[in-house]
Amino acid sequence: MADRKLNDAAKRKEFEAEALPHMDALYRTALRLAKNQSDAEDLVQEAFAKAYRFWDKFELGSNCRAWLFKIMTNIFINEYRSKSRSPLQANIDDIDDNYLYGQLADSEMTENPEQTLFSKLFDDDVKKAIENLPDDFRLVAVLSFLEGFSYQEIAEIADLQLGTVKSRLHRGRKLLQKQLFDYAVRNGYIKEKAK
What confidence score (pLDDT) does residue 107 get? 45
Tens of pLDDT along 110-163?
455 555 555 544 566 777 888 889 888 999 988 988 888 999 999 999 999 999
Domain boundaries, given as residue ranges, for the chain: 8-83, 92-186
Q: What is the assigned CATH class of domain 92-186?
A: mainly alpha
Query: For residue 92, what pLDDT band results from cuts at 50, 70 and 90?
Result: very low
Task: Give pTM, 2 decimals.
Answer: 0.67
How far is it, in rounded angstroms, from Cα 189 to Cα 20? 37
Q: Is CATH 1.20.1290.10 what the domain over 8-83 is classified as, yes or no?
A: no
Tens of pLDDT along 5-27?
778 888 899 999 999 999 999 99
Same fold: 8-83 with 92-186? no
How far is it, in rounded angstroms, from Cα 24 to Cα 30? 10
Contact of 92 with 84, CB cutoff 8 Å: no
- Report which secondary-structure segment, H or E, holds 47: helix 37-53
How far is it, in rounded angstroms, from Cα 46 to Cα 72? 8
Contact of 35 with 131, CB cutoff 8 Å: yes
